[in-house]
Amino acid sequence: MGSNSVSTSRDPLAYRPEIDGLRAIAVLAVVAFHVSPRILPGGFIGVDVFFVISGYLITRMIAVATDAGNFSFAEFYFRRVRRLLPSLLTVLFTVWLWGLVDFVGSDFAALGKEMATSAAFAANFQYAAHHGYFEAAAEAKPFLHLWSLGVEEQFYLFWPVVLVALRSSRGRRRSIVYLGLISFTAGLFGSWVFPNATFYLPFGRLWEFMFGAAIGIGRPRESRAADFLAVAGTVLIVAGFFLINSSQVYPGFRASIPTLGTALILLSTKESAIARGLSFPPLRFVGRVSYPFYLWHWPIFVIATNFLGRPAPVSVRLIGAFVAFGLSVLTYRGIELPLRSGRSLPAVERKRTFALLVLLVAAGLVGLATDLTDGFPSRIQGVPSAFEEGNSQQSTLVDAACPIPEAVGGAILWCRGASGGPANRVLIGDSHAQSLYPTLARLSGPEERWLVLAGPGCSPFPDEMNPGAPSACAAFLSKGIRAVSETPEVEWVLFAFHARHASESGVTERALRTLREIRRHGKRLAILIDNPIPSVLPERCGKITPLQRLAPRLNTNCSITREEHEKNSAALRALAARAMREFPGLVVIDPTDRLCDAERCPVVLDGRSLYSYSHHLSDFGASRFVPELLRRLR
């Protein structure tokens, strides 16, 4: 749709400039949230606004064409290709080229996998299976935001068929109501039971499109009541920006706030006060470039984080947002408009459409090849890759024959015992415990048989969970801790976890309650002080990417000061000291002297990495203190 479209109340497909303004509000909200959630805690609901707009526009366009007897599936999908692919392909290939010269192997392989699923418009299925949208790990995924594009394309695949099959207005209204109610109900329950799947997949989002579709088969209201509804819709959307946040269950019922708000605005006409405000020319311009702006902004933030080797600060993200906007204008005017709006002969248009589809397949194949080759590791020079060894060992050190108490069978992740017999040592914690386990199992003696009770992001204390942790944390940890406490063969219980858990509100009392319960059953207790947390991605240290060879730069952040580490772990040290006073004989193991010198804590030592990935120790790093740990637990 162009801004010069004729607008009359009798034209059902007349250009509505306020919709471009609404798009601008939506994309600016999403970008503001990604710059910093403190700016706009609920900015991510801008995606819901887009879903409602899409449901409205697509439904109205297809319904009008079908009623006139001139709807063509081929023409519809050709238009979708010309509308979506030019900007998408530009971003996919540009980000891939940057990754080729600046991402290390594992990161580049992950980028390739994301690129392949994004080219197939199935990125939402990949993320639903592995990554929560608000998890810290998600910030390393340059195509994370394309989950919403996948949802839209999946909607475009089936909805035209439904509308064409149901030519009567009554049938269409019924289908909208039934599908909307089913999806809304699934979203309500799924947000609690299957939060990732409900967030990313169409079944939990379809009802938002149906709100727009319901408006699309009707007519805008020209009464004062409709103007009032538009004001109410605006209030709902703005309230959602500030009252909704990432720690809440979403989409669930809360998604009805931006969804209903957008629908109410779409009910009004261009003469309403809200519509006139949304038709403000600068807003309309941002709305026209909202699609490439959305595509560009998140990869730029991820690239900045990767380049810096640490989370990009707000100031850098703000600059990145302006860069993304500039690129979106160039993409829109230089690539999208010429390919979408060019007045070529039909044969030329068909060739362009076919070429875009070929490039889309090529993007998928390039991404797949990048993933299957582990990111073309020959690009990288420097320290041999110790950064993946911790992960690879976890699968090889699982002893399937290790006896596991029946009561904890569903909670135990790993078990190993060289001499057989029930486990007599238990490791409890989060992903730091998981990364420690391979070394612990490898260096243990024949009479030391370990069970691991841990989950990524899980606090080791059942009542305490990281907000981004899986919802099952508390359940399986409570069950597991209770069971190992009651298992007579268990002698030692070792806690190992990220130091941030010790800073959470009320954690000391919860920890002491857990320790009392375990000690009451005669178990011996130990706490491991957390390892230093690098200020950069360890994968950047000691490795030379093609970009670094072209423009060498020092990895000045490849260590932190010992003072900084001790400050970061102060709350955990205080918790351990309190526990030692209450539980005589409790052992505290502090690996600081083995991982740091007098002043600094490095990432790479003697040409080898102390870390496997992120802030998790490698086998080499853990081996520096695990022998002492095992000695103190004998």
Tens-place pLDDT, residues 568-578: 999 999 999 99
Kindly tell me if the per-residue pLDDT of 7 is higher than 50.
Answer: no
Beta strands (DSSP E) in 385-487 are 414-416, 425-429, 450-454
CB of 509 closer than 8 Å to CB of 578: no
Residue with structure tokens 């490791």? 427
* Average pLDDT over the chain, rounded to an integer: 85
Give the mean model confidence (pLDDT) for residues 377-391.
56
Alpha helices in 131-223 (DSSP H): 147-165, 169-193, 195-200, 206-216
pLDDT bin (cut points 50, 70, 90) of residue 341 is low
What is the predicted pLDDT for the residue at 397?
Answer: 44
For residues 272 and 84, which has the higher predicted lDDT (pLDDT)?
A: 84
- Range from 184-188, 189-193, 328-332, 460-464 carrying the lowest mean pLDDT: 460-464
Tens-place pLDDT, residues 513-542: 999 999 999 999 999 999 999 887 777 776
What is the predicted pLDDT for the residue at 316?
Answer: 95
Highest mean pLDDT: which range of 106-110, 213-217, 288-292: 288-292
What is the predicted pLDDT for the residue at 392?
Answer: 43
> CA angle 201-206-209, nearest 5°?
130
Helix (H, G, I), strand (E, B) or coil at 191: helix
Instruction: Report the C-alpha gap between 23 and 269 in whole angstroms.
Output: 16
What is the predicted pLDDT for the residue at 395?
Answer: 44
Tens-place pLDDT, residues 249-299: 899 999 999 999 999 999 887 778 898 899 999 999 999 999 999 999 999
Instruction: Report the C-alpha gap between 78 and 156 in whole angstroms.
Output: 12
pLDDT bin (cut points 50, 70, 90) of residue 8 is very low
Q: Is the dihedral of CA 291, 295, 298, 304 positive or negative?
A: negative
What is the predicted pLDDT for the residue at 339?
Answer: 84
End-to-end CA distance of the chain: 74
**Could you give the dihedral angle defined by the CA atoms of residues 261, 263, 264 and 267, in that order, rounded to the nearest 10 degrees?**
160
Which tokens hold the place of 505? 């509100």
pLDDT bin (cut points 50, 70, 90) of residue 456 is confident
Give the mean model confidence (pLDDT) for residues 460-487.
67
Domains of the chain: 28-379 (no CATH), 389-632 (3.40.50.1110)
What is the predicted pLDDT for the residue at 381?
Answer: 63
Instruction: Report the C-alpha gap between 567 and 464 in whole angstroms.
Output: 22
pTM of the model: 0.74
Kindly tell me if the per-residue pLDDT of 471 is higher than 60.
Answer: no
Kindly tell me if the per-residue pLDDT of 466 is higher than 80.
Answer: no
